[in-house]
């Protein structure tokens, strides 16, 4: 009985520690443009939309997570953009977009224009061209429920991180405008951030989109240890825990001859030990 009580108590502590700062991932969030026209069931526009979205989500030639295609002619032409978070691999990207395709057409069953977000991707379509245009609406804001303790210092470190990171994201190329970084904040706690733009917008438009996203943080996420601002052209997120995949760098080749220098770099992952009494 003592063994069971000790293990249960330690497991509770471990679970609480791991889950303390983690917030639930958002469900699929759609925005249907009711004032931008509707299509009728089985119309040419709907057929073009279904063809376009099916083609977009099944394309295996694109490996950088950005899709922008159009299909149809004249008033029945449809434009679509799919964007996956910069750390998502191609298979997961296509899976996310395919799920979004199903959900978005269900949630917006006859709207010609709609957009939907989930944690790893965004899907958008319209009856007019949406390529290369910076837009901030419609948007979505989310925040971590926990407040920072040392607010002034936390915000000071965070603001510098965000302003530095937006320039890195904006300088990306036509395939990907994406950047991540982390810094050490108050009480030696790390702050992680991610920024991304659709790569069809210019450097200036990406920068401006992220500037507006940063400026909107006080209205949604003031003094919070984590927050997100998501729009059609850019996304911003920061947390006090690692929420994105780190890039995998190939290991250096082994030395070709023996060396007397045994110094090296070592990495250590934190482990959790359970002591049974």
Q: Is the pTM of this model over 0.85?
A: no
Q: Are 44 and 73 in the same domain?
A: yes
Helical (H) or strand (E) element with 196: strand 190-197
DSSP-assigned letters across all residues of 228-253: EEE-SSEEEEEESS--SPPPPPPPPP
Distance CA 256, CA 144 (A): 50
Q: Is 262 exposed, middle or buried (0-12, 13-18, 19+ CB in 10 A)?
A: exposed
The whole-chain average pLDDT of the chain stands at: 85
Indicate if 170 and 94 belong to the same structural domain.
Answer: no
Phi, psi of 187 (to 5 degrees): 60, 30
Q: Flag whether pLDDT at 162 surpasses 80.
A: yes
Domain limit, last residue, from 99, 126, 153: 126
Tell me the per-residue pLDDT of 96-133, one tens digit each, with 9 for 90 and over: 999 999 999 999 999 999 999 999 999 999 999 999 99
Instruction: Give domain status of residue 46, yes or no.
Output: yes
- Whether residue 272 lies inside any domain: the answer is no
| pLDDT tens by residue, 129-149 | 999 999 999 999 999 999 999
Q: Are 109 and 144 in the same domain? A: no
- Residue 269 domain-assigned? no
CATH number at residue 222: 3.30.430.20
- Residue 268 in any domain: the answer is no
Q: Which domain holds residue 105?
A: 29-126
Identify whether residues 98 and 171 lie together within a single domain.
no
Is 188 or 22 the better-scoring residue by pLDDT?
Answer: 188
Q: Are residues 145 and 225 in the same domain?
A: yes
In this predicted structure, what is the pLDDT of residue 272? 36
Whole-angstrom CA distances from 154 to 70, 150, 184, 259 are 44, 6, 10, 45
pLDDT at 267 over 50: no
Query: Is residue 191 domain-shared with residue 232, that is, in the same domain?
Result: yes
pLDDT of residue 187: 87
Is 175 found in the same domain as 102?
A: no
pLDDT at 252: 58
Q: How many domains does the chain have?
A: 2
Nearest alpha carbon to residue 231 among 201, 253, 204: 201
Backbone angles phi, psi at 209, to 5 degrees: -60, -45
Q: Which letter does DSSP use for residue 24 in this model?
A: P
Q: What secondary structure letter does DSSP report for 25?
A: P
**Chosen domain end from 94, 126, 158:** 126
Per-residue pLDDT tens for 23-55?
444 589 999 998 889 999 999 999 999 999 999
d(CA 222, CA 148): 9
Model confidence pLDDT, tens digit, residues 214-243: 999 999 999 999 999 999 999 999 999 999
User: What is the average per-residue pLDDT within 172-177?
Assistant: 96
Residues 117 and 156 in one domain: no
Domain check: are 96 and 162 in the same one?
no
Do 164 and 80 fall within a single domain?
no
Q: Are residues 34 and 57 in the same domain?
A: yes
pLDDT of residue 34: 87
Q: Would you state the pLDDT for residue 255? A: 62
| pLDDT for the residue 35 | 86
In a domain, 132, yes or no: no
Both 181 and 213 in a single domain? yes
**54, part of any domain:** yes
pLDDT reported for residue 121: 97
Q: Which two tokens stand for residue 100?
A: 């979004």
Q: How far apart are the first and last CA of the chain?
A: 11
pLDDT in tens, 8-22: 434 443 333 333 343
Question: Does residue 271 sit within a domain?
Answer: no
Would 89 be classed as within a structural domain? yes
């Amino acid at each position: 009985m003592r063994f069971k009580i000790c293990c249960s108590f330690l497991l509770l502590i471990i679970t609480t520690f791991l889950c303390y700062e983690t917030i639930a991932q958002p469900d699929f969030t759609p925005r249907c443009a009711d004032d931008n026209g509707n299509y009728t069931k089985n119309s040419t526009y709907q057929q073009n939309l279904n063809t376009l979205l099916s083609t977009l989500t099944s394309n295996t030639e694109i490996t950088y997570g950005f899709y922008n295609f159009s299909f149809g002619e004249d008033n029945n032409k449809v434009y679509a953009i799919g964007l996956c978070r910069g750390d998502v691999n191609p298979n997961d990207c296509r899976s996310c977009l395919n799920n979004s395709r199903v959900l978005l057409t269900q949630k917006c069953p006859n709207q010609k224009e709609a957009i939907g977000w989930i944690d790893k991707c965004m899907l958008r379509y319209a009856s007019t061209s949406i390529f290369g245009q910076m837009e901030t609406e419609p948007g979505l804001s989310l925040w971590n429920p926990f407040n920072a303790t040392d607010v002034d210092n936390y915000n000071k470190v965070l603001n510098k991180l965000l302003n530095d990171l937006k320039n890195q994201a904006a300088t990306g190329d036509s395939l990907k405008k994406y950047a991540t970084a982390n810094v050490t904040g108050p009480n030696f706690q790390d702050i992680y951030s991610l920024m991304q733009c659709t790569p069809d917008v210019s450097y200036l438009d990406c920068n401006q989109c992220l500037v507006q996203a940063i400026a909107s943080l006080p209205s949604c996420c003031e003094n919070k240890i984590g927050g997100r601002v998501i729009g059609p052209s850019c996304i911003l997120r920061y947390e006090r825990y690692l929420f994105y995949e780190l890039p995998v760098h190939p290991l250096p080749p082994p030395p070709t001859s023996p060396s007397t220098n045994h110094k090296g770099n070592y990495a250590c992952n934190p482990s959790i030990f359970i002591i049974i009494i």
